[in-house]
Amino acid sequence: MKRVFIKTYGCQMNVYDSSRMMDILNAEGYTETDAPEKADLVLLNTCHIREKASEKMYSDIGRLDVMKKERAAEGVDVKIGVAGCVAQAEGKEILRRASAVDLVVGPQSYHRLPHLLRQKGRAIETEFPLEDKFDQMPAVTQRIGLTKPVTSFLTVQEGCDKFCTFCVVPYTRGAEFSRPAAKIIDEAKLLADKGVREFTLLGQNVNAYHGIGTDGTEWNLGRLLFALAEIPQIKRLRYMTSHPRDMHEDLYTAHRDLPQVMPYLNLPVQSGSDKILKAMNRQHTAADYLKIIERLKNDCPDLALSSDFIVGFPSETDDDFRDTLQLVETVGYASSFTFSYSPRPGTPAASMEQLPENLKMERLHALQALLMKQQTAFKESLRGKTLDVLFEKTGRFEGQLGGRTPYLQPIHADAPAEMMGQVVQVIVTDVGTNSLSGTLVSKQPQPAALAEANI
Ligand code: SAH
Ligand code: SF4
Ligand code: F3S
């Protein structure tokens, strides 16, 4: 029996990919272990988005190298593999720098893992193959045996053709590609039958989805959401990450008309300055973004918003930064992801004149302080409200269950175990830094048949 340990860095798509690699390795006779020192194969599923992310990988490899030598002294041959976006961006460099690494595999080649593992010597696969990797993988069933997830990611679109000047994704994930709707629906049904009640559809540009529909026509993300909402067990649908350029009519309608589509949206704006948005090649203005938000709020008044922001992009002045703060004041965010610009090799912005580190940090902290104030105010506004909560895990204390509000905040309450996987009404009683607390409106779990039928 061979054992595998996978460490995942970076975004949700890497989390999904790790689970798919686990499916593939299970079919190859590997079982999962949660301790790298017990593994015969250690896979690092890496992220290249900012400098820190790739540095982390190299320091982890250093530690694994020591472990690998200790195990070799005991007669055990441990293999170390690097997958993900660093593998794609600097695969050869990894093999040169890190002698402990046996295998390098890019995100579009995971279906080739069994072949690479059987190869003698060190193996590398970072081409963008013509075949669809998803077609070559075993079905998603394997991982369900280990835990029984209530929520799941589901990749529907991958890659990016937008080439924002700061971003490595078009180089690491390749050209935009949408999975056929029938494949997505089959995967969702399979997981729903196993107990999954909430899906987060994933894509680097998820709302650019344009896959072939079950009727043979091209579907957008809105159409896909309508089709998934017909699966009776599915109670909640979310999607990320979206681009303002790809908002479309059907998506507004999905937010307005589908109760399964949760009133939460991460729509990254990056900056509030038109000059910086142009230099970033985002292909929209601050006013375009605000118009989208207005329309969304019109169709879905309780929509909670989130965004990604980059501060300290080359040539950003105090005035440009003030425009970002102004946009944040105008929109009002329930959550956010803030980053200081990190030059990435090979991207256009990396060769522009860079701002000093201390200025970037100053701006980052100022933006974070404003966003934190808004986030706290949003959470406080939920106090005393009755919200639908989907319970997805046991709580920290005996007799508790944990779940999420429609707006994605973690919340826990005393609740019977049968409520796992059910959407129940919870009154928010307390607002903590990491999680909300609540009490159940009714202590009675739904009868299994009703819960299943989504009534
Ligand atoms: N596809 C998504 C985001 C992908 S990367 C989109 O188009 O918005 C996730 C986030 O990382 C980005 O939204 C951006 O805010 C941040 N990011 C990407 N490259 C970065 C860089 N070089 N430096 C700092 N932050 C970066
Ligand atoms: Fe990166 Fe821009 Fe593509 Fe998003 S849209 S993945 S930020 S290049
Ligand atoms: Fe990182 Fe690649 Fe995701 S660079 S953010 S793991 S797409």
The encoded tokens of residue 79 equal 């293999």
Q: Are 41 and 79 in contact (CB under 8 A)?
A: yes
Closest to 281 (Cα-Cα) out of 245, 311, 231: 245
User: Does residue 344 have its Cβ closer than 6 Å to ligand 3?
Assistant: no
Q: Which pLDDT tens digit goes with each residue over 294-322?
A: 999 999 999 999 999 999 999 999 999 99
Q: Are 334 and 378 in contact (CB under 8 A)?
A: yes
Considering every ligand atom, which ligand is closest to the CA of 164? Answer: 2
Q: Are 390 and 423 in contact (CB under 8 A)?
A: yes
Q: Which pLDDT tens digit goes with each residue over 410-429?
A: 999 999 999 999 999 999 99
Looking at ligand 1, which residue's alpha carbon is closest to its atom 24? 341
Contacts of 287 (CB under 8 A, 6+ apart): none
User: Does residue 202 have its Cβ closer than 6 Å to ligand 3?
Assistant: no
Looking at ligand 3, which residue's alpha carbon is closest to its atom 6? 47
Beta-carbon count within 10 A of 134 CB? 17
Torsion sign, CA atoms 364, 365, 366, 370: positive
Return the pLDDT at 142.
Answer: 53
Return the pLDDT at 451.
Answer: 58
User: Does residue 308 have its Cβ closer than 6 Å to ligand 1?
Assistant: yes
**Residue 107 three-state SS:** helix
**CA 191 centroid distance within chain:** 18
Q: Are 60 and 44 in contact (CB under 8 A)?
A: yes
Ligand 2 pocket (Cβ < 6 Å) reads 160, 162-164, 167, 169-170, 204-205, 243
The low-confidence residues of the chain, meaning pLDDT below 50, are 144-145, 454-455
Return the pLDDT at 310.
Answer: 98
Q: Are 15 and 153 in contact (CB under 8 A)?
A: yes
Beta-carbon count within 10 A of 101 CB? 24
The encoded tokens of residue 76 equal 């055990």
183, with CB counted inside 10 A (0-12, 13-18, 19+), is middle
Return the pLDDT at 455.
Answer: 38
CA 168 to ligand 3: nearest atom: 4
30, with CB counted inside 10 A (0-12, 13-18, 19+), is buried
**Which uninterrupted H or E stretch holds 124?**
strand 123-125
Beta-carbon count within 10 A of 98 CB? 17
Q: Are 437 and 405 in contact (CB under 8 A)?
A: no
Q: How far is the CA of 370 from the centre of ligand 3 (A)?
A: 27
Q: Which amino acid is at 112?
A: R
**Which uninterrupted H or E stretch holds 259?**
none
**pTM, 2 dp:** 0.94
Return the pLDDT at 137.
Answer: 80
Return the pLDDT at 141.
Answer: 62
